A and B are shown apart, each in its own frame.
Chain A
């Protein structure tokens, strides 16, 4: 009787270790797919492609719920995740300098986090595309 019990414990330990091993593997895969570096690059390129194919006047909403979750986890304000300077879009979801990508469409783009009636972030980002205003020159 005593012997049978020993064998059972060994098997249970073996199964638990296997499960632990598989869980670590799955967690690693899930974390890699939703990591800051991967998401920053995905969003930056996605926004650049959207702006490139857009025409003035347009309003585009982009779902960044995953990014919002990650930004909050990393202590980044969701309102500062996307910034557009000239024709370069920067997405920052962690403490690093973020990921930048250039778009060729020379339009006036502004990006801001969408808020609901209560003033909470909805997880969407709004891109407004307008025609670039000509700079008046005095000759």
Chain B
């Protein structure tokens, strides 16, 4: 009887050790998961690109009528991209932490389509770093989400010119900034 009791105590102790080994493993797992979760920066690029496209849309048309600055003698003003950033109050300077110093982390492209020809734009212009544009199509072609690529937002709406011509306007806005939004 005495021998049996002694053995049981031994088993209890071994069980306790195993219990703490399991707890340590669980704790290790939790620490690792928390580190992975909080170590990764918050990715706000999608929101940022949506805000950018909204701002561009607000600059192009007011209550469904395209701004008169877009036309010169009823023809599209080809110099609009030179003044558009100032007109919309855009400042594409970024902090110094990004890879190449002063590399612009933004890009946008605006295309105007007439309803008679939806395939080819009647007029288009862009601003910012055009290197980011390719990232949008890589994602689309593969149907996968690559976190290191730039985030893109495509927005489309209809608006009228002051002469009453109807246009479909497509806006593509892109935000790079992967250094600050994705774990490197």
Contacts and interface: CB of A to CB of B under 8 A. Distances in A.
Contact of A42 (B34, B42, B106): B42
Given A33-B38, A53-B51, A28 B31 contact: yes
B27 interface: yes
A41 B41 contact: yes
B48 A21 contact: no
Interface in A6-42: 10, 14, 17-18, 21, 25, 28-29, 32-33, 35, 38, 41-42
Nearest to A86: B93
A105 B91 contact: yes
Given A21-B23, A45-B44, A86-B93, A52 B51 contact: yes
Contacts of A100: 95, 97
Contacts of A88: 93-95
Contacts of B92: 104
B180 A49 contact: no
Given A28-B31, A29-B30, A41-B42, A102 B51 contact: no
Contacts of B180: 101
Interface residues of B, number: 29
Interface string B147-182: 000000000000000000000000000000000100
A27 to B, nearest CB: 12
Interface in B43-73: 44, 47-48, 51-52, 54-55
A100 B94 CA distance: 10
Contacts of A86: 91, 93
Contacts of A53: 51, 54
A49 to B, nearest CB: 6
A29 B29 CA distance: 12
Contact of B93 (A29, A38, A102): A102
B184 interface: no
Contacts of B89: 105-107, 132
Nearest to A107: B89
A87 interface: yes
Contacts of A101: 95, 180
A33 B23 CA distance: 22
For the complex of A and B, list the 6 residue pairs with the smallest distance between their C-beta atoms, beginning with the closest.
Answer: A106-B91, A106-B89, A102-B94, A87-B91, A100-B95, A52-B51
Interface of A: 10, 14, 17-18, 21, 25, 28-29, 32-33, 35, 38, 41-42, 45, 48-49, 52-53, 86-88, 100-102, 104-107, 132
9 contacts: A21-B27, A25-B27, A38-B38, A49-B51, A52-B48, A52-B51, A87-B91, A88-B93, A106-B89
Interface of B: 12, 16, 20, 23, 27, 30-31, 34, 38, 41-42, 44, 47-48, 51-52, 54-55, 89-95, 97, 105-106, 180
